[in-house]
Chain A
Amino acid sequence: MLMTHVLDLQFGDRIVTLMAALVLVLQIAMVTQRWIVLHIRIFAAQSFFLAMIAATIAWYNHAPHLYVAAGLTLMVKVVLVPILFERLVKRMEIDEEIEPIVNVPLSVVIAGGLTLVGYVVAESFYKPGEPGLGHNALAVAISLFLIGFFTMINRRKALTQVLALLSLENGLFLAAISLTYGMPLIVELGIFFDVLVAAMVLGILVYRIRETFESVDVSRLRRLRG
C-alpha cells in the first residue's frame, strides 16, 4: 500500500499541490501580519515547505540535482536568513510594525485577486498532453510573485520590504522547480549565493538606516527629489 504511493506520480502531484497551497496560505498570512518577528518565522515556514516541494519533485521525477536545491533552501532561507534577521530585529529593538498603507481586510482581498491572476497566467503554460507535476504549483508561484510585489508597495518598514522581496524570490524558485524541475545546478548555486548576499547587504542597509534615521520607516526617505 505504502509502496504504491511512494512510486505513484499522481500521488506525488497531490502532495505537491497540498504543500503549494500551504505556501500560498502562508504568503497571504504575511500580508496580514503586523509583528515583525512572526513575519520572519512565517517566511521561514514558507521556505521550509518550498524545500519539501523541491524534494518531492526530485523524488517523483528522478531529478537528483533538486535535492541540492532543497538542501540549499533549508540552509539559506529556513536557517541562515531568519537567524540573521531575528538578530537584527533584537539589536535594533523594533518589535511592532505600523499599519500598512492599505488596511488588512482589503489587503487580503487584493491578495486573493492576485491569486486569480496567477491562475489565469499559469493556464497558458498548461499543455493537456504533457505529463508532469506541479500544474497548480506554477499558479501558486505566479501568485507568490505578485503578492510579494504588493506587499513591498504596501509596507513602510525597511525589513518588511526585504522580507517581501525574499518571498517574491520564493515564488520564482517555485516557478523554477515546477516548470523545468529547477535550473542547471551551477545557476541554482549562483542564485542561492546571490540571495544570501542580498539578504546580508539589505540587512546592513536596514541597520544603517535605523542608526541614521532612528527609524526603519522608509517613507521618511524623501530628501532626494526631482
Chain B
Amino acid sequence: MLLLALLLVPIVTAAAAFLARRRAAMEAANLVGFGAVFLIAVALAARVLAAGTVSLANGFFYADALSALVVLLTASVALVCTTYTIGYLRNDQQSGALGDDASGKEQRSQLRMYYTLTPLFVFSMLFMVVANNLGVMWAAMEITTLVSVFLVTFYGKVTSLEAAWKYAIIGGVGVSMALFGTLVAYYAGRGLTGSEGLSGLNWSVLAQHAAQLDKTSMRLAFVLVLMGYGTKAGLAPMHTWKPDAYSEAPVPTTAILSTALLNCALYCLIRYYILTSRCLGSEYPGRLLLLFGLLSMGVSVPFVLVQKNFRRLLAYSTIDHAGIMAIALGIGGAMGSLGLMLHMVFHTIAKSLLFLCAGNVYQHFRTDLLSKIKGGVMRAMPLTGVVLFMAMLAITGMPPFSLFQSEFLIVRAAIAGGHVLTGVLFVLFGTGLFTGALLFVGDMVLGPRSDAPTAKRRPWRDGSLLALASVLVVIAFWVPTPLLELVRQAAHVVSGQ
C-alpha cells in the first residue's frame, strides 16, 4: 500500500497542477504533494527497517533498505527544491525571465509546464527505484530523460535548446545501451527455475540464482549496463551533456538532476553490480567501475581549474562525485559499500544546497560568469554567501563536514583492499578539485567588489536554504540513529556481508 501511495501521489500532484488555473494553486499542489511524498518515504524507510523488505503485487514492486534510502533522498530533495522553486519562479516572473507578454497567459502556461513536469519527473525516479523488474526499471529511466528534456528547455533560449538536444541524444544512446544490457541479462537468466514470464527479469529472482546465471552473457551485460546507466550518471567519457544541461535548466531542476537522478542512475548500476559480482566474483565489475570512476575524477580536474562559469563548475564537481561513488562501488566490500552509501547521503545534501545557492547568486547578479560576479556575494547576500562558502568546503571534503568522513572511509577501503594506486590517485584528484573550487568560490564570495546592490528579502528561497544548511551542519556531527541504521542496511545489501 505504501509503495502504491508513493507512486500515486506524484501523479495526482501533476494532474492537480495541470488543471490548476492560478499560480498559487499550482504552487500549493506541488508543495502539498511533495510533502506527502516525503512523509510516505519516511514511513517506507521505517517499514523497511522493521521488516527487511516490502513488496507488492506479486513482487512487481519491491523495496529493500537500498531502495528505501534512495527513495528517501529523492523525496527530500524534491521537497526542498519545490519550496525553493516557489520563490525562484516568482522572481523569474517579476524579472521577465519567462517572457513579458501583457496578459500573463504565456507565463502561466510555462509555470504550469514546470509544476506538472516536475512531479512526473519525480514519479519516474521513484517508479524506477521501487520496480523489481529490470526491464520496467529501464523503461522508467527512459521516462526520466523524456520528461526532463522539457525542463531543460524551460527558458527556450538558443543555448537551452542546444543543451536539451545533447541531453536527449546522448541520453537516448546511453539508455539504449542499457536496454541491450538488460536484454542480455534476461538471456543470462533464461531457463532458471522461477524465471518464467514476467518474473524472469525480477531482480530479487535473479539475485537468488545469481550463481547459476550464464557467465559469458553476464560479462557482456555488465559492460553494456555500465556504459548505459553510466551515461545517465555522467561518468566520463559519457559526461559531456552534464555541464550544458546543468547550466541551462532552471536551478531547482538542476539540483534534482545532479542529486536525485544521479543517485537513481547509480542505484541501477548497484543492482547490476550485485548480480554480476554474485555471478562472476567482484573483481571483474570492480575493475571496470574503478576505471570509469578514476577517469571521471581525472577528467573533471582540468575543467574545474580553468572554469569560467559557476554552474558548469558545479556540474564538473558532480561528475567528480559520480566518479567517487563509482570508485567506492568498485572497491566494494563492507567498508567500500558503507562509504558509498554515506557519500550518497552527504553528497545529496551538500550538492543540492550548492545549486540552490547558485540560483540565488544567478538571480541577483543575472550571470553565472565568475569574472562578473567577482566578490560581492557576501556583501549583497550575507546569508547566501556564508552558506555557499560552507557548502563548498563541505563538497571538497573538508572536515568537519561529513563528506570528509565518507571520502576518508573510501580511501581507507581502497588501501585496505589493496587498491593503493586508486587511493593515491583519489587523493591527488581530490586535491586538484579542492584547489580549483575553493580558489574560484573564495574569490566569488569574499572578493573585493563592493558596489553590488543588496538584495531584497527572499523568504521561500532563503528559508529552504537555511533548512538545508542546518541539516548539513547537524549531520556533520550527529547522524540520527535510524538513518545510520538504514545506511548500514543499504550497505549490507550492496556488499552482501
Contact = CB atoms under 8 A, between A and B. Distances in A.
A223 B162 CA distance: 8
Given A191-B179, A224-B247, A226-B308, A184 B200 contact: yes
The SS class assigned to the B binding surface is helix
Contacts of A99: none
Given A172-B180, A187-B136, A205-B168, A194 B146 contact: yes
A88 interface: no
A8 B255 CA distance: 58
A213 B309 CA distance: 24
B173 A165 contact: yes
B244 interface: yes
Contacts of B162: 221-224
B155 interface: no
Nearest to A181: B190
A185 B133 CA distance: 12
Contacts of B32: none
The 3 closest A-B pairs by CB, nearest first: A187-B135, A190-B139, A221-B162
Contacts of A205: 149, 153, 161, 164-165, 168
Contact of A183 (B143, B149, B183, B220): B183
A226 B139 contact: no
Contacts, number: 120
Interface residue tally of chain B, by bracket? 35 or more
B306 interface: yes
Interface of A: 124-125, 145, 149, 152, 158, 161, 165, 168-169, 172, 175-176, 179-180, 183-187, 190-191, 193-194, 197-198, 201-202, 205, 208-209, 212-213, 218, 221-224, 226
26 contacts: A149-B173, A152-B169, A161-B169, A165-B173, A165-B176, A172-B176, A175-B183, A179-B183, A179-B186, A183-B201, A184-B198, A186-B198, A191-B138, A191-B139, A194-B143, A197-B146, A198-B142, A201-B150, A205-B153, A212-B158, A213-B158, A221-B166, A222-B162, A224-B166, A224-B243, A226-B243
A145 B180 contact: yes
Contacts of B173: 149, 152, 165, 168
B176 A168 contact: yes
Nearest to A209: B161
A145 B180 CA distance: 9
Contacts of A149: 173
Nearest to A153: B173
A198 B146 contact: yes
A169 B183 CA distance: 12
Interface of B: 133, 135-136, 138-139, 142-143, 146, 149-150, 153, 156, 158-159, 161-166, 168-169, 172-173, 176, 179-180, 183-184, 186-187, 190, 197-198, 200-201, 216-217, 220, 243-244, 247-248, 303, 306-309, 312
Given A168-B176, A183-B135, A191-B179, A226 B303 contact: yes
Which of A149, A165, A184 has the most CB atoms of chain B within a 10 A radius of its CB? A184
Contact of A180 (B139, B176, B183): B183
A223 B159 contact: yes
Contacts of B176: 165, 168-169, 172
A223 B216 CA distance: 43
A179 B187 contact: yes
Contact of B133 (A176, A187, A201): A187
Contacts of A191: 135, 138-139, 179
Contacts of B306: 226
A208 B480 CA distance: 48
Nearest to B200: A184
A118 B294 CA distance: 30
Contacts of B136: 186-187, 190
